[in-house]
């Protein structure tokens, strides 16, 4: 027997209904905020992720589904959505035109991580990316949009924010941090590697020994330039004004290398160790880094599987019809009726020869509002038997009135 691969799963009803409900709800809100849908390929050149997500990240270092295809191209399954959207933005020359563009997307992402609750190898994200707006109010808008999505889905959260600085304050802070790291002996292998590639990422290390060694590490938040400091203050005051509770986490650095300035994460205390339900931030250097014209950008992505555990679906009401034949002779008319009624209604059916009781049971399980049956009697009188499964009312009506 062949099973799905480890860390990958099927999404079947009723979970698939929750999945669709989430996508529909978030898409509607993203459109209200002026984002348009974008679909980019799942397979991209490996270099795209190496240059954007970054060599120092776990994603590129350890988790890529990378292979050489039949044309000798080095390709990989996308581990996240931002890089592909940035590539598309540049490929369409929107950067050269200096256009402001807002996109949203959803679909599967792939990371070869150790599977556990809330951590899959194929998982799904819903994300949004905004290009061309350098004002921190766009960062605030992205956070408010996420809040609107979580509220619509009935999901509670804690918001953590930080500022990672910009090219005018980051390099100086980096030097200060590296000097500090040189005084620390016994850092884990990952931290030793990050010390050379992207030192700020050491602050994110989960190793308990590193956490102790780095307890009094200098923090970027204390080394921001005037502009970054002002922007961070504006962001906080907008969040205060709009009643969005947040915690400043000066060690929040995110697991991807492309961020600058605003970084944020939404966490939930209700889903266990893998508590990050969404993350994002500003990435003003990425378009240029991928050979485009410098364009400010900010975005986020949420993990759909993690959120599915938390979504409160609205009470569903009975909907549509179940139409069945009680004798072979009625099958033809039932087939026609089902086809006709489907033009305006949701209609389910069964061709199995079952008693009225068993058809009623099936209709009830399918949660339709009406069960309609045609037997010998109804056929002779050109009528249908119909039961409202909500009010329990039963009646026989003329076929021409159905």
Interacting residues with ligand HAM (CB under 6 A):
80-82, 111, 113, 119-120, 123, 125, 127, 129, 255-256, 276-281, 283, 299-303, 305-306
Whether 394 has a binding-site annotation, put simply, is no
C-beta of 89 vs 370, nearer to ligand HAM? 89
Helices (DSSP H) in 113-188: which residue ranges?
Answer: 136-152, 170-182
Sheet holding 383-388, edge to edge: 347-350, 321-325, 370-374, 383-388, 394-398
Whether 233 has a binding-site annotation, put simply, is no
Q: State the residue number with the nearest CB to ligand HAM.
A: 303
User: Minimum distance between the CB of residue 216 and ligand HAM, rounded to whole angstroms?
Assistant: 27
Whether 66 has a binding-site annotation, put simply, is no
Whether 81 has a binding-site annotation, put simply, is yes
Cα separation values, 147 from 26, 123, 185, Å? 11, 22, 42
Q: Which residues of 41-65 are buried (b: 16+ CB within 10 A; e: fewer)?
A: eeebebebbbbbbbebbbbbbebbb
C-beta of 38 vs 213, nearer to ligand HAM? 38
Whether 125 has a binding-site annotation, put simply, is yes
3-state secondary structure 96-129: CCCCCEEEEEEEEEECCCCCECCECCEEEEEEEE
User: Minimum distance between the CB of residue 247 and ligand HAM, rounded to whole angstroms?
Assistant: 16
DSSP 13: T
Whether 254 has a binding-site annotation, put simply, is yes
φ, ψ (nearest 5 deg) of residue 160: -110, 135
Six token digits for residue 188: 């884990």
Q: Scan for tokens 């490996």, then name that residue.
A: 46
How long a stretch of residues is the chain? 402
C-beta of 116 vs 358, nearer to ligand HAM? 116
C-beta of 296 vs 326, nearer to ligand HAM? 296
C-beta of 102 vs 369, nearer to ligand HAM? 102
User: Minimum distance between the CB of residue 330 and ligand HAM, rounded to whole angstroms?
Assistant: 49
- Would you tell me how many other CB atoms lie within 10 Å of the CB of residue 31? 13
C-beta of 159 vs 302, nearer to ligand HAM? 302
User: Minimum distance between the CB of residue 194 and ligand HAM, rounded to whole angstroms?
Assistant: 16
Whether 262 has a binding-site annotation, put simply, is no
C-beta of 50 vs 306, nearer to ligand HAM? 306
Whether 129 has a binding-site annotation, put simply, is yes
What residues does 101 pair with on adjacent strands? 131
User: Minimum distance between the CB of residue 306 and ligand HAM, rounded to whole angstroms?
Assistant: 5
User: Minimum distance between the CB of residue 229 and ligand HAM, rounded to whole angstroms?
Assistant: 22
Measure CA of the first residue to CA of the last residue in the chain; give whole Å.
47
Which residues carry a binding-site annotation for L-histidine?
80-82, 111, 125, 129, 254, 258-259
Which residues carry a binding-site annotation?
80-82, 111, 125, 129, 254, 258-259
């Amino acid at each position: 027997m062949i099973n799905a691969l480890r860390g990958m799963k099927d999404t079947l009803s009723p979970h698939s209904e929750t999945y669709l409900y989430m996508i529909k709800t978030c898409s509607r809100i993203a459109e209200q905020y002026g984002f348009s849908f974008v679909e980019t390929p799942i397979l991209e050149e490996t270099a795209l992720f190496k240059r954007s997500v970054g060599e120092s990240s776990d994603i590129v270092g350890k988790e890529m589904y990378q292979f050489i295809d039949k044309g000798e191209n080095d390709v990989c399954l996308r581990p996240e959505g931002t890089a592909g959207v940035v590539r598309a933005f540049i490929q369409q020359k929107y950067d050269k035109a200096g256009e402001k563009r807002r996109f949203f997307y959803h679909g599967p992402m792939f990371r070869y991580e150790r599977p556990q609750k809330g951590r899959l190898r194929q998982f799904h994200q819903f994300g949004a990316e905004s290009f061309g707006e350098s004002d921190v109010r766009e960062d605030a808008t992205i956070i408010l949009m996420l809040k609107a999505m979580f509220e619509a889905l009935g999901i509670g959260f804690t918001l953590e924010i930080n500022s990672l600085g910009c090219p005018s304050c980051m390099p100086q802070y980096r030097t200060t941090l590296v000097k500090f790291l040189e005084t620390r002996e016994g850092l884990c292998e990952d931290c030793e590697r990050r010390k050379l590639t992207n030192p700020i990422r050491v602050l994110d290390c989960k190793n308990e020994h590193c956490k102790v060694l780095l307890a009094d590490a200098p923090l970027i938040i204390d080394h921001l330039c005037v502009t970054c400091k002002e922007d961070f203050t504006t962001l906080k005051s907008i969040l205060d004004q709009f009643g969005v509770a947040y915690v400043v986490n000066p060690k929040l650095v995110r697991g991807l290398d492309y961020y600058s300035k605003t970084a944020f994460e939404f966490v939930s205390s209700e889903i266990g160790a893998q508590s990050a339900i969404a993350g994002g931030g500003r990435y003003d250097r990425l378009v240029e880094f991928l050979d485009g014209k410098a364009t400010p950008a900010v975005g986020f992505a949420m993990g759909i599987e993690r959120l599915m555990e938390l979504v409160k679906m609205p009470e569903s009401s009975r909907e549509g019809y179940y139409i069945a034949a009680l004798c072979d002779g009625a099958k033809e008319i039932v087939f026609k009726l089902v086809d006709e009624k489907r033009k305006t209604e949701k209609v389910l059916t069964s061709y199995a020869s079952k008693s009225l009781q068993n058809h009623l049971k099936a209709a009830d399980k399918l949660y339709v509002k009406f069960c309609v049956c045609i037997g010998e009697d109804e056929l002779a009188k050109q009528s249908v038997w119909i039961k409202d499964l909500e009010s329990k009312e039963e009646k026989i009506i003329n076929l021409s009135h159905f």
